[in-house]
Amino acid sequence: MDQSFSGGGEKREFVRVKLEIPIRYKFLCKHIQSPEMDKIYQGKTTNVSGGGLLLFGVMPDFNWVPELLMQKIVVGVTFLLPDESESVKALARAAWIETIDEETKKCNMGLKYQEITAGDRDKIFRFVIKAQLPAM
């Protein structure tokens, strides 16, 4: 059974680049005590921009969806862009969540960066600009 949840209509401010790269992520919340909160999950991103990314990965607890959409749970993400030697790290909030598979618990989650260093945002901007240029 597929389920879709949305946090409202958001318009994209940044150009997105389609790219499939591994991503590590962790759910962060002060008021939920759960072993799943201590785990680091492996997923993938299928597009990235200076404002956020699309995460495909496990949703450990379906009851977290409202908390994610109300920003009571944030998501820490770490990923390595092509041609970079250091990972991008950010705290992100869920803008929307869709297509939760009940068997695998995997879903698509649109994440918007909440906290990211200027250096990491610059890495993303450089990558996006480079990806837009015609091959020479």
pLDDT tens digit sequence for 29-49: 988 888 999 999 999 998 998
pTM listed for this prediction: 0.84
Model pLDDT, residue 76: 98
Q: What is the pLDDT of residues 124-135, one digit of tens each?
A: 988 888 887 776
Q: What is the pLDDT of residues 72-98, one digit of tens each?
A: 999 999 999 988 899 999 999 999 999
Model pLDDT, residue 55: 96
Please give the residue that has the higher pLDDT: either 125 or 15.
125
pLDDT at 17 over 80: no
Mean pLDDT of the chain, nearest integer: 87
List, as own/partner pairs, every contact residues 128-135 make where C-beta atoms lie below 8 angstroms and the sequence separation is at least 24, other chains included: 128/14, 128/15, 128/16, 128/17, 128/48, 128/49, 128/50, 131/17, 131/19, 132/15, 132/17
